[in-house]
Amino acid sequence: MPTTFNIGIEEEYQTIDPETRDLRSHIGTELLPEGKRQLQESVKAEMHQSVVEVGTGVCDTVRQARDELYELRQTIIRLAENQGLKVAAAGTHPFANWREQEIYPDARYDTIVDDLQQVARENLIFGLHVHVGIPDKEARIRILNSVRYFLPHILALSTNSPFWLGYDTGLKSYRCKVFDKFPRTNIPDAFSSWAEFESYVDLLIKTGCIDNAKKIWWDVRPHPFFPTIEFRICDVPLRIDETIALTALMQATVAKLHKLHTRNQDWRVYSRALLMENKWRALRYGVEGKLIDFGKQEEVPFRDLMLEYLAFVDDVVDELGCRRELGYVQRILERGTGADRQLRVFKESGGDLKAVVDYMVAETQLPPEL
């Protein structure tokens, strides 16, 4: 197997006031400057000042990415504690109000807010982005077309944002519904070639829709500057093992689709309209629901589909060296996603959202089990 499926992981964290358990802006403290001193480009601000993002370098294996990401998590947690803050990893904060959050003073974010107005100001969410390397552009676009089918499955495993503005939303990933107010989001259409994709980007730039391709915020996209496919659909998970399991699944999916591509056996490409039906089910029910098997044209329990999915990628897992990390998917199916566990704490505490935040903080600090 070609050694082209290198990976990079980006996680967005919440900075928490330990007394109120609300979000607290970190930019007035030394958290970001000190993070820059220790981690250089591996840490950066996001649009809201209560968000901090970390990113690994280019990693050859999932195990290498796990070790690097754990070190980044621990460093940010330590730096936050030095400034009287806690850190939590979840797709939304249970009760924070976006109206009270400050925007990071940066020309790029000023432009986004000026363009998108309240849609941008409301975008108080926290995601996981995973890059998987594919140097060949035509292969990249073909695999992008096929990988769209698996996005709802991946989302369901990552669901970790059931609360918004103090309410149980009834959705396992409310983050998705906050973000899809942005333009150029959700599952993209299929493209017949790299040239067709480039023509699309060029047209948007020419007509003033965007100034560069980074403002295409699809659930999966060809990265505009790196030779990667970037998965953007996931809530940031509570536990590092969950992030690594999802990363292993994404890497294995790309590797398997690439293997089929080299044999002229590409996965069937379904319409965006059909795939969005499964995305809704995934964000609504997570692992507790059913998705549609479009080949069989019937609903199937998510856990059954995941067993089929894992069997589909099984022949590339050992070559990638990620069998152990991918095996954690079974733990997610058994214990529930971050959303399921947040809701469990909410119920057991009698509806105490501060107890949910305490749980989020505790889970974020856990070392890898694997």
Mean pLDDT of all residues in 63-85 = 93
Distance, in Å, from the CA atom of 255 to the CA atom of 275, rounded to the nearest integer, reads: 21
Start-to-end Cα distance in the chain: 25
pLDDT digits (tens, 9 = 90+) for 18-31: 999 999 987 655 66
- Does the structure show a pLDDT above 80 at 359? yes
- Does the structure show a pLDDT above 80 at 40? no
How much is the pLDDT for 112? 84
How much is the pLDDT for 44? 67
**Encoded amino acid at 134, one letter:** I
Residue 110's pLDDT band (boundaries 50, 70, 90)? confident
How much is the pLDDT for 115? 86
Distance, in Å, from the CA atom of 327 to the CA atom of 322, rounded to the nearest integer, reads: 8
Mean pLDDT of all residues in 166-194 = 97
pLDDT digits (tens, 9 = 90+) for 243-254: 999 999 999 999
Least confident window among 104-118, 172-186, 339-353: 104-118
Mean pLDDT of all residues in 68-82 = 93
Helix, strand or coil for residue 349? coil
Sorted by where each begins, the domain ranges of the chain are 7-364
Average per-residue pLDDT for the chain: 93
Question: Which residues sit opposite 88 in a β-bridge?
Answer: 14
pTM: 0.95
- Does the structure show a pLDDT above 70 at 162? yes
Residue 45's pLDDT band (boundaries 50, 70, 90)? low
Q: What percent of the chain stands above pLDDT 70?
A: 94
Going by CATH, does the domain composed of 7-364 fall within 3.40.640.10?
no
CB atoms within 10 A of CB 170: 9
Residue with tokens 């970790």: 160
Mean pLDDT of all residues in 154-172 = 98
Distance, in Å, from the CA atom of 87 to the CA atom of 89, rounded to the nearest integer, reads: 7
How much is the pLDDT for 107? 75
Helix, strand or coil for residue 54? strand
Strands 167-168 and 220-222: unpaired
| Burial class for 166, CB neighbours closer than 10 Å (0-12, 13-18, 19+) | exposed
- Does the structure show a pLDDT above 70 at 284? yes
How much is the pLDDT for 1? 44
Strands 163-164 and 43-45: unpaired
Residue 106's pLDDT band (boundaries 50, 70, 90)? confident
Mean pLDDT of all residues in 50-54 = 89
Helix, strand or coil for residue 263? coil
